[in-house]
Amino acid sequence: MYTGIDLQQALIDVLMGFGLTQGVAKVLWMPLPMLLVFLVASVLALVCTWLERKVSAAAQQRIGPEYMGPFGVLVPLADVGKLIIKQDIIPAKADPILFTLGPVIVFISVFLCYLVIPFGQNLLISDVGTGIFLVIAISSIAPIGLLMSGYSSNNKYALLGGLRAAAQSISYEIPLALAALAIVLMSNGLSTVSIVNQQADYGILSWNVWRQPIGFVIFLISALAECERLPFDLPEAEEELVAGYQTEYTGVKFMLFYGSSYANLLLAGLLVAVLYLGGWELPFPIDRISDWFGISKNTPWWQIITASLGITMTLLKAYLFIFTAILLRWTVPRVRIDQLLDLGWKFLLPIGLVNLLLTAAFKIALPNYFGG
C-alpha cells in the first residue's frame, strides 16, 4: 500500500548516517514531533483567535486588529506577551493547589489529543490503535479541570460555571461518541488513519458526510458544545456568570484556559475534517493524477507535494469548521441550561442511537458502500 512520506524513517536514516545506532536515533527523534505538534497546535490556535477577531469584526462592520503587523496578525502574540508578564493573582481564600492545577489539567488534556490527529498518512505522532477513542477519552478529563478551578476559586460565579461545564461536557460527550462510533463502524477501526483511508477512494464523493449526514450534524452540534462556544457557552456565559470558571483567573493561568479553549476548537475542526471530510484527502483522488502523469508515488518531490497538499487540505477543512463556528457564535443567542441539557439528552442522544442503528443496518445491507 502507498504510504506517502515518512519523515520518521527519513530522519532516523539521516541520524544513522552520522554514525548513531538506530536506538539512539529513535530516542532523539521522539521529542521532536511532540514539540512540533505542540508548537504547531499553539500557533494554529493563535490563528484561531486572530480569525475570531477578524471575522467578528467583519460581521459587525468593523475592521478589527489592523495596526499590529499586516492585518493585525501579530495581535495574538501581543496577547500572549501581555498575559505572560501579567501578575499572577491567586484569590485570598482560594485553594492555591487546585486553583493552579485546574488550567494545567485542561491545557494538557486538550493538547494530548493532538497525538492522534493525522495530517497525512504518516504525519502524526502516533497511529495508536485506539485513535479516535483516545481523543474522546482524554478530552473528557478537561471538565475535571474546569470543575476544579470553578470550585477552588472561591467565587460563586466560578462555581456555577464549573458545574455547568461539567454537566455540559458529560451530556454532550455521549452523542459525540455515538456519532464517532458510527464512523468507526464503517471504517472497521478506531485508528484515525484508517478512518481517513476508508474515505479515500473516490475523492469528495467518498467522504463520510454523504454517508453520515445525521452523524455529521450531531457531531457538529456536540463539538460546539464541547468547545463551549456560543450558542453553548454556558460555563462562561458573560451576561449571566461574568466569566464563569475563569472569573478569578489572570495572567498565565488565564492564558492556559484561553489557549486551550481555542486549541479545543481547532481540535474539533480537525476531528470534523478527519471523521467526515476525508482528512488530508483532496476533493479528487490524487493518486489518479499521479497515475495519469505516470509519476511514481515514491518520487520524493511528488511525495512532498502530496504531503503539503494533505496538510493544507486538513487545515482548510478544519478552518472551514472554525469559520462556521465563529460566524455562528456572532449570530445566535445562547441557549438556557435546561434547553441545553434537553437538546443533549432528548434530541441528540436518541438520534445518535438511531443513527448508529441505521449505520449498522446499512453496513449489513449495503456492505460495499458502508465499509462491510
Partner 1 sequence: MVMIETKAERMVINLGPHHPSMHGVLRLIVTLDGENVVDCEPVLGYLHRGMEKIAENRTIIQYLPYVTRWDYLATMFTEAITVNAPERLANVSVPRRASYIRMIMLELSRIASHLLWLGTFVADIGAQTPFFYVFREREIIYDLFEAATGMRMMHNYFRIGGVAADLPYGWVDKCEDFCNYLTPKIDEYERLISNNPIFRKRIEGLGTIGQDEAINWGLSGPMLRASGVKWDLRKIDHYELYDELDWEVQWDTSGDCLARYFVRVREMRESAKMILQALKALPGGSYENLEAQRVLAGPKSEWNGPDYQFISKKPSPTFKVPAGEHYVRVEAPKGELGVYLIGEDSVFPWRFKIRPPGFVNLQILPQLVRGMKLADIMAILGSVDIIMGEVDR
Partner 2 sequence: MLKFLNKVGDYAKEAIQSAKFIGQGMGVTFDHMRRRPITVQYPYEKLIPSERFRGRIHFEYDKCISCEVCVRVCPINLPVVDWEFNAEIKKKELKSYSIDFGVCIFCGNCVEYCPTNALAMTEEYDLSTYDRHELNFDSVALGRMPTKVTEDPFVTPLREFAYLPKGAIEPHAVSHTERRAGKRPEEILEESGNIGNNAE
Q: Which helix (H) or strand (E) holds 168?
A: helix 156-187
156 binds, among partner 1, partner 2, none (CB under 5 to 8 A by kind): partner 1
Place of cell 468507526: 184
* Residue 20 in contact with partner 1, rule: CB under 8 A: no
Place of cell 479541570: 145
Binding mask 317-356 for partner 1 (x = CB under 8 A): -------------xxxxxxxxxx-----------------
Least distance from partner 2 to the Cβ atom of residue 63, Å: 5
The candidate with the shortest Cα–Cα distance to 113, out of 48, 209, 34, is: 34
26 binds, among partner 1, partner 2, none (CB under 5 to 8 A by kind): none
335 binds, among partner 2, partner 1, none (CB under 5 to 8 A by kind): partner 1
Cα distances from 256 to residues 72, 262, 264, 265, 361, in angstroms, run: 22, 10, 12, 14, 44
- CA dist., res. 107 & res. 313, Å (int): 26
> How big is the chain, counted in residues?
372
- Judged by CB under 8 A, the stretch of 57-65, 103-111, 124-132, 315-323 that binds partner 1 is 57-65
| Residues between 145 and 174 with contacts to partner 1, criterion CB under 8 A | 156-157, 160
Backbone angles phi, psi at 175, to 5 degrees: -60, -35
* Residue 368 in contact with partner 1, rule: CB under 8 A: no
Residues near 211 by beta carbon (within 8 Å), at least 6 away in sequence? 186, 369, 370
Least distance from partner 1 to the Cβ atom of residue 322, Å: 18
58 binds, among partner 2, partner 1, none (CB under 5 to 8 A by kind): partner 2
Assigned C-alpha cell, 200: 479515500
Q: Collapse the DSSP code of 232 into the 3-class scheme (helix H, G, I; strand E, B; otherwise coil) and give the result.
A: coil
Q: Which is nearer to partner 2, 51 or 138 (CB)?
A: 51
Least distance from partner 2 to the Cβ atom of residue 53, Å: 13
* Residue 93 in contact with partner 1, rule: CB under 8 A: no
- CA dist., res. 168 & res. 230, Å (int): 13
Tell me which amino acid residue 140 is.
S
Least distance from partner 1 to the Cβ atom of residue 103, Å: 22
Binding mask 257-296 for partner 1 (x = CB under 8 A): ----------------------------------------
Least distance from partner 1 to the Cβ atom of residue 335, Å: 5
Query: What are the DSSP calls for 295-306, one per residue?
Result: --TT-HHHHHHH
| Residues between 197 and 256 with contacts to partner 1, criterion CB under 8 A | 230-231, 233-234, 237-240, 242
Least distance from partner 2 to the Cβ atom of residue 314, Å: 24
Assigned C-alpha cell, 29: 527523534
Residues near 265 by beta carbon (within 8 Å), at least 6 away in sequence? 45, 48, 227, 229, 322, 325
Q: Which is nearer to partner 1, 263 or 340 (CB)?
A: 340
Least distance from partner 1 to the Cβ atom of residue 238, Å: 5
- CA dist., res. 343 & res. 359, Å (int): 22
Based on the number of CB atoms within 10 Å of its own CB, is 307 exposed (0-12), middle (13-18) or buried (19 or more)?
Answer: buried
- Alpha helices by DSSP H, listed for 66-212, are 75-85, 96-113, 131-139, 142-152, 156-187, 192-198, 208-211
363 binds, among partner 1, partner 2, none (CB under 5 to 8 A by kind): none
Least distance from partner 1 to the Cβ atom of residue 146, Å: 17
Q: Catalog residues that contact partner 2 under the rule CB under 8 A.
A: 55, 57-63, 327-328, 330-332, 347
Q: Which is nearer to partner 2, 188 or 331 (CB)?
A: 331
Binding site for partner 1 (CB under 8 A): 56, 59-62, 156-157, 160, 230-231, 233-234, 237-240, 242, 330-339
